[in-house]
Amino acid sequence: MNQLTQSEIVLMKKAGALTRDALNYAQTLIKPGVSTLHLDKLIKKFIIDSGGSPSFLGYEGFPGSICASVNEMVVHGIPSESIILKEGDIISIDVGVIYKGYNGDAARTFPVGKISPEKARLIEVTKESFFEGIRHLKVGERLGKVSHAIQAYAEKHGYSVVRELVGHGIGKKMHMSPNIPNYGRESDGPIVVENVCLAIEPMINMGKKEIAMLEDGWGIVTRDHKPSAHYENTVLVTKNGVEILTL
């Protein structure tokens, strides 16, 4: 785990705040009839105008500034003018912001207009599983306690947890060690140390856990085509507890 200095923590907090603001802005844009490319263009401008830069743009060749994943798409949806949001959809927006060399990363799943109670419950349980997980994020404890808690909470409510995609350390790079699965045993993972930033991100499916990659090499969808939700925050772990930097 990459321990941060106090001056680095200040920059991480600013990167987190910009990421939070970008997601809050995204929420105001989401409505039926809007394309995911339109969302991408506006959110990119918002990030730049706010003094940051979109970390996803060009990352390993990714063409967008956000990941926009609709309904059965779990993550990594490429923004497109041909993907038009419609009433009853859900959309996961994943945003990364760089501020003075430091990264914030967060995601939310939003309703498009009026959605079914089943989709609303999926979104809520996914969010709740994040908070259940970070209750167990403490200096001196195994990181596996977080992973186990997320899995137990999601499965208790009848959902499945994606295995192949995980949370991660974050700082000067968007993806750093350690990997943070959303499943596993409490005894797994490294011992948590203070002054580290982590991106905790449950990805929870309404149906089965199996996923597939689209031909574009980015989009990940559920194999059974049932909806999936995503909830992520960048958090700072200190000896006094956990601070959520993107909320």
pLDDT 10s digits, 36-77: 999 999 999 999 999 999 999 999 999 999 999 999 999 999
Residue 201 placed within a domain: yes
Intra-chain end-to-end CA distance of the chain, in Å: 22
**Pairing state between β 167-169 and 73-75:** unpaired
State what percent of residues in the chain have pLDDT above 90: 99
In whole angstroms, give the CA distance from residue 186 to residue 78: 35
pLDDT by residue (tens digit) across 222-234? 999 999 999 999 9
Specify if 206 maps to a domain: yes
| Domain membership of residue 144 as a residue range | 6-239
Q: Give the C-alpha separation, 40 to 67, whole Å.
A: 8
Q: Is residue 247 situated within a structural domain?
A: no
Show the low-confidence residues of the chain (pLDDT under 70).
none
Question: Would 153 be classed as within a structural domain?
Answer: yes
CA nearest to 246, candidates 170, 185, 194, 182? 170
Tally of structural domains, the chain: 1
> Is residue 1 assigned to a domain?
no
Question: What local confidence, expressed as pLDDT, does residue 108 receive?
Answer: 98
Q: Is residue 40 part of a domain?
A: yes
Which CATH number goes with the domain that contains 219?
3.90.230.10
Q: Is 82 part of a structural domain of the chain? A: yes
Whether 244 is covered by a domain: the verdict is: no
pLDDT at 90: 98
pLDDT of residue 122: 98
Tokens representing 24? 């809050």
